[in-house]
A and B are shown apart, each in its own frame.
Chain A
């Protein structure tokens, strides 16, 4: 074969800026869509009920979201690596109880929180070990640990419960006080969110989690320490579930053996609504956090505008469907526009 060494393709990178900005927009659009839905919803509610965004109202909204935001953040990291952790609800429950038991015996609040985080991280490590060492489907393994941890929790807890009376006042106050309308819990969640988001974006190991989720084989070939990263993701997720457990205790002042059961579906919903794909490698923790905020806000909005709680479940589900459908349609539209623009650009360049 003779080589016709004509430089067919023009010099590279002539106008990447324009293209990049557009692509950036596409990616951001996912989060934007959720944010837009959220704002519209909150705005509309405020119009029909002026109490809704009162000082107390905003505080409540933020407080409600805190725990879900934390767990969803951890879950998003795991999902980005193309895995899933269904055991978060159970881990949350058992960590909350552990922290409560410790506080009941007169422990310090800070250590109680650390204890919950450590216990969560421990279960995260167990999940991570099972998933990464055995290279087995995360869904099954964590469904298994969901049952196991819940079982251990109920055997341990039995019919005991931690009530507000057992907790030091400082801890309970920490659960609802804050700076002006921003509760301490929300600040904490925000800090965690920002840290995890920054880590995923700006550190090699964070980027490697995306790589790993995007294509596990390619990641192995690229020398990504797959097991280590999966382990990190699970430990992080577990630790955040543990932290969420401690905050749950502070917030609700009450923990029993059923605490956190069924929570996994809410968390998974938040992550999905936030645009983190279950096929791994895409989405962001910010999206997941927005998803969490959206979901918890729906639960506050409906009672606030006087929707009978009989309707809540149905409306919840339909809104969830709407959110993902709108997001999807938007993404398709943008992709189509992009395709046409690319074609125009190409023909313009070669004309």
Chain B
């Protein structure tokens, strides 16, 4: 496939880069060129090697073979600092903030403006941060410590950090995965401005529509190998998917109609002071209920309180008629509840443990004989689910932290689906998952619902909610602001409720 590229020298390029991690060959002879003033997308399934490629560009990984070219000249970045000094700003897939430091310090670490005698000018650090946030339309206090920020807010801080470099090359690894529409729009606005000012942009997202919105060219990877680099003009989403997956995909949101049964999860007047107030809803067997809202509306907090990892101050939760004790996840599990948490790195997985052990963590009841672990049972339970969810791994004993982001997410799902829950709460279940697998996850959730499982799905991906949910609950500022039937739920109605522009109340 030959497509015309700009005549100019690329600002930053990779030529024939390979990178292996022990047995895994993450990149095999990949080339990529980034031009000034152009936004370049990088597409591929989970584990295709996108993040690895970015880390090679940013000097985190040294390529085994191949070269990195800066303005046409081969360079060797010995670390992230070298790349940064060369004008390359990177937003990594997983936010990497300093939890103890203020947001402002996080952004300017190592580059703080200085006063006489080399002293850090704290005031101007703060001011510059406030300006950046204003540009992004973010409502964060520059002095707030990064600890306790939601994933979305962390992602926003990362974005602000990358923007603050005024870099020639801006690389973004799934920056939008945790964001809702409005933040994405703000981000794209800013990125477009940068691009117009001559910056080169590399953008990764599993939301294909975002790629089409923002980018001019796309490079596709499959299994670490380069597949194509081409302009997006004239390409359809299906074309792109075919390049990534190597085959055609079925319908994206395959919601089957199911018969709803008895109430399986019942939440009454649930309150946690300062976080959410008076939240009541039911989820029935066979039903998928979507929980929508803006970032920080308190959806995840509700889910966590229901499951028992957080305590709540008032209200009650019933699962299949059993009233749950606050703050006791093990009892909730026994009652048939499962929670796929939103932050896979901190909450979903023990990153230093193997895939097998991670999936095994929820299954002690099934895998012990007379109080002792039954290795075989544990293994077969894990294999079963790893295979059903198409986790891409070399050995089941591999440490989960070495998997690609999307595959880690699949392991979290496997870990919880393996408990055969009656009520399943999924918090951003497809964050960072590629289109192919996303469809698979959706099919799976549908199938579970059809089997009579009650599903509560929290998602910031509005189309996903609209496509999957039988009913949509919307939260705003810690309260339920609307309950919409599948027919009533449209992008407009949900957004209106999420931003508090309606006073619809909860119509049951």
Note whether A and B contact each other (Cβ less than 8 A).
yes
Pair A211/B134 contact, Cβ less than 8 Å: no
Interface: B246 (CB within 8 A): no
Complex-state Cα separation, A343 to B185, whole angstroms: 26
Most chain B CB within 10 A, of A203, A214, A281, is at A214
Name the distance in Å between B161's Cβ and chain A's nearest Cβ.
Answer: 8
Give the contacts of A207-233 with B (CB-CB under 8 A): 207-208, 210-211, 213-215, 217-225
Interface flags, A1-29, vs B, CB<8A=1, else 0: 11111111111110010011001100000
Q: Tell me the bound Cα distance from A6 to B114 in angstroms.
A: 37
| Complex Cα spacing A7 to B181, Å | 11
- Cross-chain contact of B209 among A1, A280, A344 (Cβ < 8 A): A1
> Given A1-B463, A222-B80, A342-B274, A16 and B130 touching (CB < 8 A)?
yes
A308 contacts which chain B residues (CB < 8 A)?
A: none
B207 at the A/B interface (Cβ < 8 Å)? yes
Q: Which residues of A contact B90 (CB under 8 A)?
A: 221
**CB-contacts of A192-212 with B (<8 A):** 201-204, 207-208, 210-211
Decide if A9 touches B118 in the complex (CB within 8 Å): no
Q: Could you tell me the distance between the alpha carbons of A344 and B119 in the complex, rounded to whole angstroms?
A: 37
Given known pairs A1-B181, A343-B275, the reply for A214 and B478 (CB within 8 Å) is: no
> B109 to A6, Cβ gap below 8 A?
no
Measured CB to CB, the nearest residue on chain B to A208 is B110
Interface centre among B92, B143, B184 (most CB of A within 10 A): B143
In Å, the complex CA distance between A215 and B84 comes to 19
The residue on B at minimum CB distance from A210 is B101
In the complex, which of the residues B85, B145, B461, B500 contacts A350, with contact meaning CB atoms closer than 8 Å? B500
Q: Which residue of B lies closest to A338 (CB)?
A: B274
Q: Is the CB of A224 within 8 A of B109?
A: yes
Q: Is the CB of A19 within 8 A of B182?
A: no
Complex contacts, B92 vs chain A, CB 8 Å = 221
Chain A residue nearest to B111 (CB atoms) is A204
A282 in the interface (beta carbon within 8 A): yes
Interface hits, B190-246 → A, CB 8 Å: 207, 209-210, 213
* A2-B181, A214-B99, A218-B97 known; A20 vs B120 contact (CB < 8 Å): no
Judge whether A211 and B80 touch: CB under 8 Å: no
Q: Is the CB of B119 within 8 A of A343?
A: no
Interface residues on B, range: 35 or more
Task: List chain A residues, Cβ under 8 A from B420.
Answer: none
Question: Is there an interface contact between A19 and B143, defined as CB atoms closer than 8 Å?
Answer: yes
B104 vs chain A, min Cβ distance (A)? 10
* Residues of B118-152 contacting chain A, CB below 8 A: 118-120, 122, 130, 133-134, 137-145
Interface residues of A in 268-291 (CB under 8 A from B): 280-282
Complex Cα distance A213/B210, Å? 36
Q: Please determine whether A218 and B274 come into contact, CB atoms closer than 8 angstroms.
A: no
Bound Cα distance from A214 to B478, whole angstroms:
30
- Is B294 in the interface zone, CB < 8 Å from A? yes
Of B60, B81, B120, B189, which contacts A225 at CB under 8 A?
B81
Is A340 in contact with chain B by the CB < 8 A criterion? yes
List residues of chain B with CB under 8 Å of any chain A CB: 60, 79-81, 84-85, 90, 92, 96-101, 105, 109-110, 112, 114, 118-120, 122, 130, 133-134, 137-145, 181-186, 188-189, 207, 209-210, 213, 273-275, 294, 461-463, 477-478, 491, 495, 499-500
- Give the top 5 A-B pairs by smallest Cβ distance, nearest first: A223-B81, A281-B100, A343-B274, A214-B98, A218-B96
Residues of A within 8 A of B (CB): 1-13, 16, 19-20, 23-24, 201-204, 207-208, 210-211, 213-215, 217-225, 280-282, 339-340, 342-344, 346-347, 350
